[in-house]
Amino acid sequence: MGSGLAFWSPLLHLLLLLLLVMCAQGTGGRKMSETQLEATHNLMNPMDQRIHAHHSSSHMDHMDPSVMIFFTIKDLKVGKTMAVYFPKRDTSKSPRLLPRTEADSIPFSSEQLPQLLQLFSFSKDSPQAKAMGDTLRQCEMEPIKGETKFCPTSLESMLDFTHGILGSNTPFTVVATAHLRNSTTHFQNYTILNEPKEVFAPRMVACHTMPYPYAVFYCHSQASVNKVYKVELGGEDGDRVEAVAVCHFDTSDWSPNHASFSVLRIKPGTSPVCHFFPADNLVWVPTSTSV
Ligand SMILES: *[C@@H]1O[C@H](CO)[C@@H](O)[C@H](O)[C@H]1NC(C)=O
Ligand SMILES: *[C@@H]1O[C@H](CO)[C@@H](O)[C@H](O)[C@H]1NC(C)=O
């Protein structure tokens, strides 16, 4: 990883590259290598299970460090130290982003899972099959009240969804967590180095990467009040992260089993819940000059 990439989220870089490649070459082959498939499984991003699914509280008794992304708004100040989990993934092994025509030609539904497993040559008991099934189910789940969600399978459909939410005449931009060092530590104490900066975001669309043989995002937007921040973090091992975080001010419609409540020891709707985004998540916000 050259330091030239330092100011880019690796995924953004990848997206831009892919966009260029797609424009230049049109549709590529559909073959997936073993490493890609393995990487898909390793990329399993429990974010949406954490954010949406109904975890049993007993599951949380031995807390998985990957839920250590939550904090309260009171923690959002210079000098605050907290243990944070940042997955450091090798983005060169990320699943391929397909052009829309290609993505749209592949069914995307739980009902068709058996055919999809055949298409991608996974046995039905494989971890990849489980990951695909989980992703499809997450994508088919009804949104919670006040939420709009969609799972784009291409950059074009992600942009269409974002346009639909932010307004078709609203120019928008993307923010993402960027790792400024090569630290390989996933879980450590980080200290907030500078005053967190609020990002102009009257509305936002957050897109999480999902485990699948090709790039699939889980995008959602909530009507309730959210604030987006850029937070400079310094890790105990010298790591530096320009993290993107969101604070949800109304959590009253969230499941009481939502992981954040056990991490923060609070109840739904009692105080804002904030979390950092991993580097491969994309947060779309209107450009601030647009109003
Ligand atoms: C990351 O490591 C590579 C090789 O070890 C080095 O060349 C590069 O400068 C490092 N980048 C940063 C941001 O420290
Ligand atoms: C963070 O620091 C505290 C206090 O020094 C320590 O007890 C804890 O183990 C550290 N956490 C991590 C993840 O290193």
Structure confidence at residue 20 (pLDDT) = 40
Structure confidence at residue 187 (pLDDT) = 95
Structure confidence at residue 145 (pLDDT) = 87
Q: What is the pTM of this model?
A: 0.79
Atom of ligand 2 nearest to the CA of 65: 13
Q: Hey, what are 240's tokens?
A: 């530096």
Identify which of 66, 45, 44 has the alpha carbon closest to the alpha carbon of residue 259: 66
Structure confidence at residue 183 (pLDDT) = 92
Nearest CA to ligand 1 atom 4: 1
Helices 10-25, 155-166: axis angle to 10 degrees equals 110
Partners of residue 179 on adjacent β-strands:
241
Structure confidence at residue 137 (pLDDT) = 96
Query: Which ligand is nearest to the Cα of residue 187, counting in written order?
Result: 2
**Hunting for tokens 């459909």 — which residue is that?**
157
- CA 215 to CA 217: how far, in whole Å? 7
216-266 pLDDT, tens digit per residue, is 999 999 988 999 999 999 999 999 999 999 999 999 988 899 999 999 999
Low-confidence ranges of the chain (pLDDT < 50): 1-10, 12-14, 16-61, 290-291
91-122 pLDDT, tens digit per residue, is 777 899 999 999 999 999 999 999 999 999 99
- CA 78 to CA 140: how far, in whole Å? 40
**If you measure from the C-alpha of residue 190 to the centroid of ligand 2, how many angstroms do you get, rounded to a whole number?**
10
Structure confidence at residue 287 (pLDDT) = 93
Nearest CA to ligand 2 atom 13: 188
Q: Hey, what are 1's tokens?
A: 């990883």
Mutate which of 68, 85, 189 to test ligand 2's pocket (most atoms within 8 Å of Cβ)?
189
- CA 150 to CA 128: how far, in whole Å? 22
Structure confidence at residue 25 (pLDDT) = 33
The pair phi, psi for residue 17, each rounded to 5°, is -60, -45
